[in-house]
Structure 1
Amino acid sequence: MTLTSTRRFRPPPQIGGRGPLRGGARRRLTIVAFLLPAMAVLVTFVFWPMVAALRLSFTDASGFGLEEFVGFDNYARVFTDPDIIRAMGNTATYTIMFTPIVVVFALALALALNSPHLPWRGVFRTALFLPFIVSLAVAAFAWQYLLDPQVGLLNFWLQSFGIRIGDVLQDPTLAMPAVVLIAVWKNFPFYMIVFLAGVQEIPQSLYEAARMDGASPIARFRNVTVPLLGNTIGFVLVIATIAALQAFDQIYILTGGGPYQSTQTVVMQIYKSGFKDLELGFASALSYVLLVATLLLSLVQFAITSRGEKDAG
C-alpha cells in the first residue's frame, strides 16, 4: 500500500536571496533616502518660514524684545493704512501695464521667430534671449545710466532729434511706465521661449489646410494658433501676473519706490515695514495678504482659460 503525502511541496529557501517583502521595503527605503535631502531643504527654507511668518502676523514682533499677541490688528491695518492702499493701487497698475504688454510682445516675437522664411533665425533667437540672462540688478543699473538726464545715452540720442525727456525716473507720471518697460525688456525672452515651444507643437498641416481654404493670416492666427495655444497662454498669463505682483528688484534700484511713492509696490512696502520700520508682525500680515491675492488671481485666470478652451472645443 502506497501512502501519498497531502502536504504541498515547498521549494527550499534560496541562500542569500531576498524575499519580495524585503525587496519592496528596500526599494521604499531607497526612495525615502533620495527624497529626504530635498524635503529637508523645503521644510527648512520654505515650510517652516511660512509657518513662522504666519505666527508673527498675529503679533507686534519687531525683532527685539518680547512679542505680544494682537490678533487681527495687523490684517485690519493692511486695509486701512493709506500708504498700504496706495501701494496696492501701484501694484495693480504695474500688473495691468506689465502683463498684457509682455505677453503680446513675447507672442508676436515667438511667431516671427518661428517663420521658416526668417533668415538667421538662430542668431535672432540667441540675441533676443540675452536680456533674460543678465542679472536684473545689473540691468537696472545699466538702464539707470541710460536714462540719466545729464550723461545718459538715451537723452543724448533723443536730443539729436530735438527731443528731451528729462529725468523720467524722478517724474511721478513717467516713473511707473519706465519701470514697466524695463521689466518687459528684461522678462519677455522667457515668455517668448515658452510661446515658441508651444507654436512649434502646432501641426503645420492645419495651417496648410486653412491656407487652402482661403483663410487670411489673421484668420489663421485667430482660429488655429490661439485655440491650440490656450494652455500656453494661460500658463504665461499666470506666471507673468505672479512676477508683476512680486516686482521689487528693479523698482528698488531705479526709484526706491519714489518719486512721492508713485512706484511703491506691496513688496516694496513689505521690505520697508519689515527691515526699515522693524514691524515684522505687520510685514508678515501684508505678505500673507499678497499671497492670498496672488493665489486667488491665479485661480481666476486658470478658470477663465479653461472655460475658453472648452468653448473653443
Structure 2
Amino acid sequence: MNTSRAAWLFLAPALIVLGMFFLLPVLAALILSLTDYDLYALADIRNLRFVGLENYWTLLHRPLFWSALGHTVYFVAVGVPLSLIASLGAAMLLNSPLARCKPFFRTALFAPVVTTVVAVAVIWRYLFNTKYGLVNSVLDGIGVAPIDWLGDPHWSMPTIILFAVWKNFGYNMIIFMAGLQAIPADLYEAARIDGASALRQFQHITLPMLKPTMVMVSILTVSGYFQLFAEPYVMTEGGPLQSTTSVLYLMYEEGFKWWNLGSASAVAFLLFIIMFAVTAVMLRLSRRGGEV
C-alpha cells in the first residue's frame, strides 16, 4: 500500500500538468463544439447557446469542408509514400559501408527537421516564384516555359508536398537508421553466400525486419501529414482558388478569422475522428499481416 501511494505521489505532478494543459483544453473544446460560441458570445457570454450536434451537421453539408478534406487526403496519400521512400532510401545509403562522412550527411539531412517551418517556407516561396525564382530560372535555361508553382491550382499542392517531404523526411531517416542497425549482419552475410542479389536481400531481409519500424513511422507520418497547416498558411494562404485549404487551415479560418469558435472546435474533433479511424485501420492491417 505504501508503495502504491509513493507511486501516485511521484506521478501526481505529471498527471496534474497533463490534466491542466491537455485534458481540460480538450474537454473545453468538446463543449465548445456543441455551442454556437462566436464573436457575440465572446463579447457577452449570455449570447452563448447550446446547439448540440448542429455544428457537425452543418460542416458535413458544407462543400468547403469536403474540399478541404479532399486536399488533406491528397496530401497524405501522395506525401506519406514519398516521405517513407525518401527517408528509407537515405537511411540505407547512410547505413551502407560505402558511405563516407556519415556524421556530416546525417546532420545535413536532419537539419531541415529542426529548422523553423515558417522561415524555410518563405525561402521556398522565393525559390518557386514565377518571375525571379531559382527553379524557373533553371527551367528557362533548358528551354522549359516558366511554371506558376504556387499560383496554379494544378501545381500548388504538389509544390507544398515536395516542400513537406524535404522538410520532414530526415526525422524518419534517423528512425529507419536505428532499425537498419538493429538487423544482424549475419543475415546479409548468409544471403550473400547463398547468392542472393541486393534486391532479394532487401525484399526478404530488410523489409521484413523493418516491419515494426515501418508501421510506427507510417502511423507517425500519417498523423503528422493530416495536420497540414503551416505550409499552405505561409506559402499560399489556402489558395489559389482554395486548392491548398486543408482541414486544419479551415479550422484556423473558422476560429481566428471568422471567430466561429464552436464550428472550429467541431472541425478539430471531426479531424480527430478521421485520424483515429485511419490509425486504427493501419494497426489492424499491420496485425493481420503479422498473423499471415
TM-score (norm 1): 0.88
Partner of 1:134: 115
Among 264, 270, 275, the residue aligned to 1:283? 264
CA contact (8 A) 1:227 1:309 kept: no
The equivalent position to 1:304 in structure 2, one of 253, 261, 285, is 285
- Check the 8 A contact 1:137/1:249 in 2, yes or no: yes
Which structure's CA Rg is the greater one?
1
In the other structure, the counterpart of 1:46 is 22
Deviation of residue 121 (structure 1)? 2.0
Rounded Cα–Cα distance in structure 2 between residues aligned with 1:166 and 1:216:
42
Q: What is the alpha-carbon distance in structure 2 between the residues aligned to residue 37 and residue 158 of structure 1? A: 57
Distance apart, 1:30 and its partner CA:
4.9
Measure the CA separation in 1 of the matches of 2:74 and 2:147: 23
1:199 matches 2:180? yes
Deviation at 1:154, TM superposition (A): 2.1
Q: How big is the shift at 1:33?
A: 4.1
Aligned length: 287
Question: Are 1:99 and 2:116 an aligned pair?
Answer: no
CA distance in 2, matches of 1:242, 1:123: 29
Amino acid at match of 2:76: T
Name the counterpart of 1:168: 149
Distance 2:263 2:201 in 1: 52
Within the candidate set 4, 14, 34, 1:58 is matched to 34
The alpha-carbon deviation at position 180 of structure 1 amounts to 0.4
Tell me the residue number matched to 1:81.
Answer: 62
How far, CA to CA, are the matches of 2:112 and 2:265 in structure 1? 33
The residue correspondences of 1:222-241 to structure 2 (distance < 5 A) are 222-241=203-222
* 1:248 corresponds to: 229
Residue 121 of structure 1: aligned partner? 102
C-alpha offsets along residues 100-129 of structure 1, whole Å, 9 cap, x if unaligned? Answer: 110111111111111011122222212111
Q: Deviations over 1:33-61 (max 9, x none)?
A: 44333222211111001101111111111
* Matched residue SS, 1:174: helix
Write the deviation string for residues 116-145 of structure 1: whole angstroms up to 9, x where unpaired. Answer: 111222222121111112111111011011
1:182 Cα shift? 0.1
Q: Tell me by how many angstroms 1:31 deviates.
A: 3.9
Runs of 5+ consecutive residues of structure 2 not aligned to the other structure: none
Q: Give the Cα separation in 1 of the matches to 2:114 and 2:30.
A: 34
Q: Distance in 1 between matches of 2:241 and 2:15?
A: 44
Aligned sequence identity (%): 38
Deviates more, 1:187-196 or 1:67-76: 67-76
Structure holding more helix per residue: 2
CA distance in 2, matches of 1:264, 1:96: 16
For residue 204 of structure 2, give the secondary structure of its aligned residue in structure 1. Answer: helix
Question: What secondary structure does 1:168 align onto?
Answer: coil
Structure 1, 180-189 or 72-81: larger mean CA deviation:
72-81
One of 177, 189, 200 as aligned partner of 1:219: 200
Taking the aligned partners of 1:39 and 1:164, their CA distance within structure 2 comes to 58
Specify every segment of 5 or more residues in structure 1 that has no aligned partner in the other structure, as ranges: 1-23
Counterpart residue number, 1:72: 53
2:164 paired residue number: 183
Read off the aligned partner of 1:281 and give its amino acid letter: G
Q: Tell me the residue number matched to 1:17.
A: none
Kindly indicate whether the alpha-carbon contact (under 8 Å) linking 1:230 and 1:309 is maintained by their aligned counterparts in 2.
no
Moved more, 65-74 or 247-256: 65-74
